[in-house]
Structure 1
Amino acid sequence: MMAFPPQFLDEIRNRVSLSELIGRRTKLVKKGREYSGLCPFHNEKTPSFTVNEEKGFYHCFGCGAHGDQVEFVKQTEGLNFRETIERLADMAGMQMPVERPQERVRREKSATLHDVMEVAAQWFTAQMSTQSGLIAREYLERRQVSPLAQQLFRIGFAPDSRTAMKEAMLARKIPENLLIEAGLVIKPDNGRDSYDRFRDRLMFPITDARGRVIAFGGRALGDAPAKYLNSPDTPLFHKGHVLYNMAKARSQAFNVGEVLVAEGYMDVIALAEAGFEHAVAPLGTAVTEDQIRILWKMAPEPTLCLDGDSAGVRAAVRAAERVLPLLKPGYSLKFAMLPEGLDPDDLIKQRGAAAMQELLAAAKPLSTLLWENTLAGRSMETPEQKAAFEAALEEVTQQIQDQTVRGYYQKHFRNRLWELGRSSGGGKKSFDKGRAGDKRFGRFANQRKSGQNTRLQVTNVPNAGMGRGGELLLLTVLNHPKILESDFDEFAALQLSSAMLDRLHSAIIEIASSESDLDEEGLKHHLSKRGFAQQIDRLEKSAQGDLDWFADKEAAFDDARSGWKHLVARLKRKMLQDEVKIAETLLGEDLTPENLERLKIAQKALAEAEGNEADLDGFGVASGRSTGF
């Protein structure tokens, strides 16, 4: 039987969430750091089955079932070991390895390389207490790195010597070729003697997810072309697939439900000393796709802590662009921009841990960063400029692969565009909130401020252009503009597929935003002046008597509003039912965690929407009718 490389099996476990895998067979409920549910291996009425995502195992206290992803698939699908690995590799999007003689040699060498890196880490640490290590100790003292932190992070020192480390390793019977392969020693192409890669540097061991040393990062203590130097790619180490401190931070991230991403080693150490032990750092590069996936294993919305200068903003934008195609329901990024000129280490030392916590609490969501970056430097004086801004936002959302997430981003940006236009007539003053623009809209401005939570809900209102529904919703408002006083946000959030209805909808919003005490005659007058007379006439002639009676101007307002809200809820429910069907079809075609999560979200939204229609008790009585919907 083929022996799979340990790194391959570790990567499968990292990529396939144990709780999501088991959650397909039995409903799991998160309780603290663990999940619990009914055991899928025996019949029980009281949950005795737990899943520990952090430690990577499940256990049933009733029947004793215990294992990881591999064992679970073997037991539940009746597969042998190889078939199980093939199944999990497919779920993880990984190619199965082909076992060749040279690969077996490489696998055995990897185990040996781990030993080499551990010996090197111990040697670097030992150099801290030598006479030559004084410069490193003084540097750490100036940076206020405590002895405990030095010990926990295994900080070491590489002497300013061309071959000191190599000679020490050779004395320990480690062959030169392994030192070269591990990236500790450089062999010149011209045939000259090899020499130490790291010299006169503070050394930071880099570990894998299991805490094994796989590489080093070195900070220059004297003059050097590169301030920081990392190990090269080796059989153990690929810098785009690893995060500094990820082994230690993982358990803490599970505890607090979040993970912080700083820029460098010293930032991570400073954060840990201030109580933020759930911090990691990329290794001198922008965050990669693989690193984002690792972060999502720790927490669904990692927070990037970046300098507030132009370089920090560029780094934030690069991370945002990198994550867009990967977004899935519930998983994103947040951005905490530090005061210009300060990194996390500086901020904590100057202002304390509380200042850092305050900064993290104010972190921007990804949607805000994308909006601000797209808006930056733009003039919004003319319709053409506004249209260009809208087109740029649409270009951003098209990078999102997940259809559900993309749809919500499009709705979010449409709502913000509407709010931007409503805050003033356009132009640069539209970004100056809290001034005359708020007063201009009177009752509706107050409604917006007090109804922010409602606003988030009404963005889920369906495409009201389905069939007759869109026309009926607008006709009711045309004949009963008072609906806008109580349900302005819900009306504004409607998304209409018909171009004509959409233009009429936008015109009603604009008129209602600038005019007060609108009645039916006044609203239609303003719309007619804008060229909508024919559209209004067509809507009124399309009324279907008894079926649409609540939309008629003769209907009592309470009946008109109840009918309107009931129709909105029905259309929303229809949209959610369609979304559930689509999600079920996708899951049936491709059993992935993303498709499963999409179905869960759709089902939850539909369950929450059930029964939310307007109360129709007494509907029609005020209008002299005895029939409802």
Structure 2
Amino acid sequence: MALPPNFLEELRARTPLAPLIQRKTRLTKSGRNWKGCCPFHGEKTPSFYVYDDHFHCFGCGAHGDAISFVMRAEGQGFPEAVERLAAEAGMQVPQATPEAAARERRARDLYGVLEAAEAAFRRRLRLPEGAQALAYLKRRGLSDDTIAGFGLGWSGGGRGVLAAELKAEGISPGQLAEAGLVREREDGEGFSDLYFNRVIFPIRDRRGRVISFGGRILGEGQPKYVNGPETSLFSKRRNLYGLDLAREGAFRGAPVVVVEGYMDVIALHQAGFTGAVAPLGTALTAEQMEELWRLTPEPVLCFDGDAAGGRAAAKAAEAALPLLTTERSLKLATLPAGEDPDTLVTRSGPAGFTAVLDGARPLSEALYALLTEGRPATTPEQRAALRNRLAAVANAIPDKSLAAEYRRSLLDRFFASTRAQPGGRGAQNGGMGRKPMPAPRARPAITRERTRTEQASTLMALTLRHPWLLGEVEECFAAVDLGDPVLGRCRDAVLAWLAEGHELDSTRLMDQLAGRGMAELATGLLRGAGVPEAASVDAQPKDALDAWWHFYGLLRGRAELEEDQAREGRAWVEATDPVAQARAQQRIIRLTMLLEAQHRGEMAEDAAGAAGLQDEQAMGGH
């Protein structure tokens, strides 16, 4: 019997890969990842890398997850490897019973049922009966591309319409009930719809598969929003709305931001904040935090600026403390009073929400205000109780050295605030209030499209000024999506010139482009306001090469860089020419460094810094 996919995913999530592999080979930290000598072939220079959820050797090509590592390292079969890892993780392997096999078949079928339901909801949105729902989404400022990208739909206003429509596809009411789309009536006489007269929001797992739906009622009625019930595929505690899209956004450098609801997530993605997610009607759980930390070491939790938002922030902070390590924490951001992310980006554009993110505070800074707000500390008894509480909160952190740092920070603030005024009044006035939100800075809006165009233009300028780079980067230069047809035609002309075997000289390349009617374009690229020093005539070769790879990394997502890695790994293995093999190896090293920088969040910081510099130059700053 094949094991249920949910069981295998949870087993992988509960098995930290680096400690498992360290039993066979010594690993050292490399950014957020690990590297070492491959345990599967003899080597003296490390080419074996361990990431959050997989390993890869650029020497022998070994690749896989925890299960495949145990199978390969210890010569075990799949069942034995799973049994061993499950025992270490405290999990029970499902038994091969007829009932288990039936459950597995049903789980596979349920994905198909949910996909069919999503298609039906999406079709209905564009029918006359969905006009009211579509008008609602348009009034909320959503574009057709955004509506399609999130798979939004309409449930219909009639009873039993979904069951009737899907019956033609061979889907029974019982399957709809098991998928969480209908429920059996209390009297046992048939089924009733869970989604009626509602805008539909598909909920997907981290791999992009539909696992449930949420619905918002149109007009009066309660509850305003509903989520599907717990099923064999869907757990509110383990999933986040928008997680599948946020994974790609995070690896492209977007900050991971946790907001409250569906529309907040969708509005932020449309505004360019593609790392936005939301819990599914629950307070943030430990399982959801683990998912966030798989994307970034310091996600941002965004709360309303009212009292309820403060209570939610305090609850989330305390829930996170037992999970903190030296390599993963949180930031807390507070919205202006009366705003949510949806209304803020609608009213103020991306710059308004950027200001909120700029004001986000590390958990270590925000925690004291959250813990002391509303707690008087004017008497010795009150101060002693508060001091004990602060120490107890810090002691919840498992890492002893990190707990000591938090304890010292909290108590330093405590002593400073209680000494601020006689009688301890400073504890109420000097340290408990929330840090005021900085005023939004007046600056041009930074859109994803504008930023990518600037990055692609810089990459092209570096190539035009230093065409000798093509000896190392030709394959990657040909593969990257420049996002602009004009730049794409310029790139095609450069590659055609290269294929003719010309001397790699910038002047001759510029003459060639001029002959193709691209003189103004090429000159403009080299003289652009945001062109770095590395694109100058006097730049050192190493600086030019480093800058080229840097901007290449900004334009590629994690999945694309991993594909590049795999391609170059194959090229290195298959190459018979030592020169070609050396160049492939250099590209592998560069791509590995870019992936590590993305994991550390450095690419996002660099992209934001470059966009800010271009803003200043466009506004006449010096």
Question: TM-score category by the smaller chain?
Answer: 0.5 to 0.7
* Alpha-carbon offset, residue 375 of structure 1: 1.7
Task: Look up the SS of the partner of 1:195 in the other structure.
Answer: strand
**CA-based RMSD:** 2.4
1:359 aligns with 2:363: no
Aligned 8 A contact 1:128 1:134 in 2:
yes
Q: How many Å separate the matches in 2 of 1:418 and 1:78?
A: 59
* Alpha-carbon offset, residue 258 of structure 1: 4.3
> 2:42 maps to what in 1?
43
Matched residue type, 1:413:
L
Q: How many Å separate the matches in 2 of 1:355 and 1:36?
A: 41
> 1:155 maps to what in 2?
152
Q: Report 1:187-336 matches (<5 A).
A: 187-256=184-253, 258-336=255-333
Q: Note the residue ranges of structure 1 that are not aligned, 5 or more in a row.
A: 435-629
* Alpha-carbon offset, residue 90 of structure 1: 4.2
Task: Look up the SS of the partner of 1:218 in the other structure.
Answer: strand
After TM superposition, the structure 1 stretch with the greater mean CA deviation from structure 2, 41-50 or 221-230, is 41-50
Larger Rg: 1
Aligned 8 A contact 1:423 1:433 in 2:
yes
Q: How many Å separate the matches in 2 of 1:252 and 1:186?
A: 36
> 1:58 maps to what in 2?
55
> 2:3 maps to what in 1?
4
> 2:513 maps to what in 1?
none
> 1:27 maps to what in 2?
27
1:43-69 per-position Cα deviation (integer Å, ceiling 9, x unaligned): 32334334454xx43332322222222
The percent identity for this pair of structures is 44
Task: Look up the SS of the partner of 2:237 in the other structure.
Answer: helix
Structure scoring higher RCO (CA < 8 A, sep ≥ 6) equals 2
1:176 aligns with 2:161: no
* Alpha-carbon offset, residue 93 of structure 1: 4.3
Q: Report 1:446-461 matches (<5 A).
A: none
> 1:143 maps to what in 2?
140
Task: Look up the SS of the partner of 1:7 in the other structure.
Answer: helix
Matched residue type, 2:100:
E
Matched residue type, 1:284:
G
Q: How many Å separate the matches in 2 of 1:286 and 1:13?
A: 25
Q: Report 1:538-549 matches (<5 A).
A: none
1:465-507 per-position Cα deviation (integer Å, ceiling 9, x unaligned): xxxxxxxxxxxxxxxxxxxxxxxxxxxxxxxxxxxxxxxxxxx
* Alpha-carbon offset, residue 229 of structure 1: 1.0
* Alpha-carbon offset, residue 192 of structure 1: 3.1
> 1:111 maps to what in 2?
108
Aligned 8 A contact 2:27 2:34 in 1:
no
Aligned 8 A contact 2:414 2:427 in 1:
no
Task: Look up the SS of the partner of 1:371 in the other structure.
Answer: helix
Task: Look up the SS of the partner of 2:284 in the other structure.
Answer: coil
* Alpha-carbon offset, residue 199 of structure 1: 1.2
Q: Note the residue ranges of structure 2 that are not aligned, 5 or more in a row.
A: 432-622
Task: Look up the SS of the partner of 2:10 in the other structure.
Answer: helix
Q: 1:129 aligns with which of 103, 122, 126?
A: 126
1:391 aligns with 2:397: no
* Alpha-carbon offset, residue 236 of structure 1: 1.2
Aligned 8 A contact 1:347 1:356 in 2:
yes
TM-score (normalizing by structure 2): 0.65
> 1:338 maps to what in 2?
335
* Alpha-carbon offset, residue 257 of structure 1: 7.2
Aligned 8 A contact 2:180 2:229 in 1:
yes
> 1:373 maps to what in 2?
370
1:258-298 per-position Cα deviation (integer Å, ceiling 9, x unaligned): 42111111111111111111111110111112111211211
Aligned 8 A contact 1:220 1:227 in 2:
yes
Q: How many Å separate the matches in 1 of 2:307 and 2:131?
A: 36
Q: 1:71 aligns with which of 68, 89, 94?
A: 68
Aligned 8 A contact 2:15 2:85 in 1:
yes
Aligned 8 A contact 1:379 1:427 in 2:
no
Aligned 8 A contact 1:38 1:45 in 2:
yes
Task: Look up the SS of the partner of 1:117 in the other structure.
Answer: helix
* Alpha-carbon offset, residue 202 of structure 1: 0.8
Q: Report 1:605-624 matches (<5 A).
A: none
Q: How many Å separate the matches in 1 of 2:422 and 2:203?
A: 55
Aligned residues: 430
Aligned 8 A contact 1:17 1:297 in 2:
no
After TM superposition, the structure 1 stretch with the greater mean CA deviation from structure 2, 393-402 or 110-119, is 393-402
Q: How many Å separate the matches in 2 of 1:180 and 1:384?
A: 56
1:89 aligns with 2:90: no
1:208-237 per-position Cα deviation (integer Å, ceiling 9, x unaligned): 122111100001112222100111111111
Q: How many Å separate the matches in 1 of 2:297 and 2:413?
A: 25
* Alpha-carbon offset, residue 364 of structure 1: 2.5
After TM superposition, the structure 1 stretch with the greater mean CA deviation from structure 2, 90-99 or 281-290, is 90-99
Q: How many Å separate the matches in 1 of 2:361 and 2:180?
A: 39
* Alpha-carbon offset, residue 175 of structure 1: 1.3
